[in-house]
């Protein structure tokens, strides 16, 4: 079985799942699409581990399942359950679906052109997944800039973190498992803090629409 072909295939679905996270109508829907992306990342690590005969990546897949599939979505769902704001969710920004898809396509293309110029043995078989992992950073940044809902902006950070996580796996598959655990732990605490801040903002201002927070009140 050509595991590198499977890695390329899964990476293609990662872009689709990232777009689904950004374009979902509510943060709760984004959470479920994020779970789908997390499962794809776990599958990517397993396929990449089989392709490179890396036992470390197989361990990474277990850690990623616990952190990305279970813990991070659980934190989002718990935070959303505590808020009543989503009976009538705020606007999600002015980004049109076709525009977002076009931006993502351009970001992937630019990243692929950059990656294609790298002539290293370690990236010869994974140029497409590497380009997609780098594009996740820009898709996440686009999400933060265009979305008005604070929780959706946190998902932008999560997409950026997923991209860096995949890049690390592609370029440093022999790194100790402790490195991956450190990256995952940092991401969990960052998401926890951002969700706590978003919850406090809602309790004080009764909104999670970033446009309603343009004025400081003392």
- Domain residue limits at 153: 3-86+97-210
The reply to whether 56 falls in a domain is yes
**Distance between CA atoms of 21 and 155, rounded to whole angstroms?**
7
Report pTM.
0.88
Distances (CA, A) of 35 to 7, 83, 167, 181: 19, 21, 19, 19
The reply to whether 39 falls in a domain is yes
Q: Which pLDDT score, from 0 to 100, does residue 86 have?
A: 59
Phi and psi dihedrals of 124, rounded to 5?
-60, -40
The reply to whether 206 falls in a domain is yes
Contact status, residue 127 vs residue 115, Cβ threshold 8 Å: yes
The reply to whether 79 falls in a domain is yes
CA torsion sign for 23, 26, 27, 30 is negative
The total number of structural domains in the chain stands at 1
Q: Which pLDDT score, from 0 to 100, does residue 157 have?
A: 94
The reply to whether 91 falls in a domain is no
Q: Which pLDDT score, from 0 to 100, does residue 118 have?
A: 77
The reply to whether 92 falls in a domain is no
Taking residue 149's Cβ as centre, other Cβ atoms within 10 Å add up to: 24
**Distance between CA atoms of 204 and 197, rounded to whole angstroms?**
11
Please give the angle made by the CA atoms of 4, 49 and 55, to the nearest 5 degrees. Answer: 160
Per-residue pLDDT tens over the stretch 4-15: 788 888 988 999
Spans in the chain with pLDDT lower than 70 = 1, 84-95, 120-123, 173-180, 214-218
Per-residue pLDDT tens over the stretch 90-130: 555 556 788 888 988 999 999 989 888 877 666 677 888 89
The reply to whether 218 falls in a domain is no
């Amino acid at each position: 079985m050509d595991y590198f072909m499977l890695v390329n295939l899964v990476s293609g679905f990662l872009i689709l799942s990232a777009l689904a996270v950004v374009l979902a109508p509510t943060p709760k829907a984004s959470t479920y699409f994020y779970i789908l992306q997390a499962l794809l990342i776990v599958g990517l690590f397993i396929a990449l581990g089989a392709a490179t005969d890396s036992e470390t990546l197989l361990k990474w897949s277990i850690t990623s399942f616990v952190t990305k599939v279970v813990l991070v979505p659980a934190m989002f769902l718990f935070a959303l359950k505590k808020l009543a704001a989503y009976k009538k969710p705020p606007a999600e920004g002015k980004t049109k679906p076709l525009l977002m898809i076009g931006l993502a396509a351009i970001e992937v293309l630019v990243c692929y052109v950059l990656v294609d110029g790298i002539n290293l043995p370690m990236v010869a078989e994974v140029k497409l997944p590497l380009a997609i992992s780098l594009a996740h950073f820009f898709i996440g940044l686009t999400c933060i800039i265009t979305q008005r809902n604070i929780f959706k902006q946190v998902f932008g950070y999560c997409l950026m973190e997923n991209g860096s996580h995949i890049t690390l796996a592609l370029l440093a598959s022999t790194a100790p498992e402790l490195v991956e655990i450190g990256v995952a732990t940092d991401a969990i605490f960052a998401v926890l803090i951002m969700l706590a801040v978003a919850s406090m903002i809602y309790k004080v201002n009764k909104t999670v629409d970033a446009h309603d927070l343009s004025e400081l009140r003392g």
